[in-house]
């Protein structure tokens, strides 16, 4: 193999051929090609502004330089359009990852902090939910660790 990407593609091909029905890939491809966030505007024409005008929740948009499925210019357009329709809580990150579209799966070092930071924003973030889950887990672990027998542990859960 001459290029690193060839080794990666060969590896992915071997994984996919043994795990997926080839027809599922056709349907996934068709779904991606047909997906749009546009909605008809007042003249009946497809419009990204019309499609995103009600999206006022905090939004994290991540573009990846080498993503050929959802190019970076499209991600930037989505972030800019969200802002243009009045969403004040839009964060846009642009990453330069050689994993391209698979970055969200394979480049946790780059993607993880962006997602974590977005989810922990307050108000309207999820930090309070994570804190509540952590508190509940701590209470459960303390309760289980104070029980001596396995049957007592199972009963307390």
Q: What is the pLDDT along the chain (157 residues), one digit of tens a residue?
A: 678 888 888 888 888 788 878 788 788 889 988 999 999 999 999 999 999 999 998 899 999 999 998 999 999 999 999 999 999 999 999 999 889 988 988 888 888 888 888 888 766 666 666 677 778 888 888 776 765 666 665 566 5
Q: Model pTM? A: 0.67
- The torsion angles phi and psi of 116, rounded to 5 degrees, stand at -60, -45
Q: Alpha-carbon distance 13 to 67, whole Å? A: 18
């Amino acid at each position: 193999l001459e290029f690193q990407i060839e080794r990666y593609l060969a590896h992915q091909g071997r994984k996919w051929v043994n795990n997926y029905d080839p027809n599922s890939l056709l349907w996934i491809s068709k779904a991606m090609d047909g997906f749009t966030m546009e909605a008809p505007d007042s003249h009946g024409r497809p419009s990204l502004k019309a499609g995103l005008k009600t999206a006022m929740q905090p939004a994290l948009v991540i573009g990846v330089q080498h993503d050929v499925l959802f190019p970076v210019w499209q991600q930037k357009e989505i972030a800019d359009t969200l802002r243009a329709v009045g969403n004040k809580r839009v964060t846009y990150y642009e990453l330069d990852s050689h994993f391209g579209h698979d970055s969200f799966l394979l480049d946790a070092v780059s993607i993880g902090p962006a997602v974590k930071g977005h989810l922990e924003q307050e108000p309207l973030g999820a930090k309070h939910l994570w804190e509540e889950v952590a508190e509940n887990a701590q209470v459960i672990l303390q309760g289980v660790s104070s029980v001596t027998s396995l049957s007592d542990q199972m009963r307390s859960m």
